[in-house]
Amino acid sequence: MKLPPMLQGEQLTRLLQGAAAGAAITLIVGFGWAGWQLQSKATKAQNEAASNAVVKVLAPICAEKFKKAPGVKETLAKFQAVDSWKQDTFVMDGGWATFPGTEASRDVAEACAKMLSELK
């Protein structure tokens, strides 16, 4: 069986080089500029977006729970007396970042503490 001229000698080498270059360019363009991504990266981004959405929804609820708690003025004074990097722990320990069926979330507590620190 005789191979076509394109698959013989130096032409075969050029064909394989062209195929390799085309594959490399396709991968570079696809992953670099076209937005292709591996499943692990997509899953990570999806989980991060979901977590951010939960924090965005629960932080205002946490702040409202804080404001409606008995003795809010004294508690707010204690909160403001705490160092800024410990305010999320204060919120978690107070139970304002805990919701039914969940454990206290540090991300929610941080966002809630940021909202509460803006109160006067």
Residue 102 is predicted with a pLDDT of 84
Q: The pTM is what?
A: 0.69
Give the residue extent of every domain in the chain. 55-120
Residue 78 is predicted with a pLDDT of 94
Residue 96 is predicted with a pLDDT of 93
pLDDT-based confidence at residue 119 (cuts at 50, 70, 90): confident
DSSP state of 110: H
Residue 25 is predicted with a pLDDT of 95
- What tokens does 97 get? 């970042």
Closest by Cα among 96, 99, 95, 93 to 115:
96
Residue 56 is predicted with a pLDDT of 96
Q: Give CA separation, 4 vs 1, 12, 14, 34, in Å.
A: 10, 10, 14, 36
| pLDDT tens string 44-97 | 999 999 999 999 999 999 999 999 999 999 999 999 999 999 999 999 999 999
pLDDT at 9 over 90: no
